Amino acid sequence: MSTNTITARRRILDTARELFYQEGIHTTGIDTIIERSGVAKATLYHHFASKEALIEAYLQERDQIFWTWFEEAISGEQEAKGKLLAFFDAVIIKVSTPGYRGCGFLNCAAEFPNATSAGHYLPRATKHEMRRRLLQLCQQMQVEQPAILADQLVLLAEGSFASTPLFDPPYPVLHVKEAARLLIEAHSRANGEQSTS
């Protein structure tokens, strides 16, 4: 694949990513993407056979970016509890950054309610994977009910992702790490009580 080909594909994806996120997928037409990216229509369709194919590529790349962010967020901690709290530190930073307009996966799934469309099942897969990873960390702490703790932490994270754009600073999300810490400690205490009873 030539450098020009890679560059054209990259420009298309970068343009689509910005427009899809800032303006919505349904309201962003192919002609707008072509105009903003500076490529010919034939070039776009050479790389992406349809708008649906472009949406799928956008979501796959967004998934990769998300997991890179996730792993970087928890990489500085050795213990599972520290990793979970570091994750919520990263959530606060992510959603408080200027230009944040909600979770791209949730936004996309809302635009594509049909469960068989890539616009729905790919975001769903990302969210299920996030729950799996959080559950894995909860299991490492050996709490009595790791699945319940993981579900509670998922709800804290998703509430942060979804609700922050609706508020003005200081954002309620600034307290989400403390909420996560209280939940983790409550489950850890319950586990200790089970062990001594």
Same domain, 18 and 103: no
| Backbone torsions φ then ψ of 24, nearest 5 degrees | 100, 150
- Domain assignment of residue 188, yes or no: yes
pLDDT digits (tens, 9 = 90+) for 19-77: 999 999 999 999 999 999 999 999 999 999 999 999 999 999 999 999 999 999 999 99
Same domain, 69 and 19: no
- How far lies 26's CA from each of 23, 31, 51, 129, 132, in Å? 9, 13, 10, 26, 30
Structure tokens at 145: 């009910």
Q: Is residue 154 part of a domain?
A: yes
- How far apart are the C-alpha atoms of 129 and 59, rounded to whole Å? 14
Q: Look up the domain containing 5 and give its range.
A: 1-48
Q: Report pLDDT for 58.
A: 98
pTM of the model: 0.92
Please report the DSSP string for 117-137 in residue order. Answer: SHHHHHHHHHHHHHHHHHHHH
Q: How far apart are CA 127 and CA 43, in angstroms?
A: 33
The residues, ordered by sequence, that sit 6+ positions from 182 with a Cβ below 8 Å of its Cβ are none
The pLDDT score that the predictor gives to residue 6 is 72
| 63 and 27 housed in the same domain | no
Interatomic CA distance for residues 192 and 91, integer angstroms: 29
Do 84 and 179 reside in the same domain of the chain?
yes
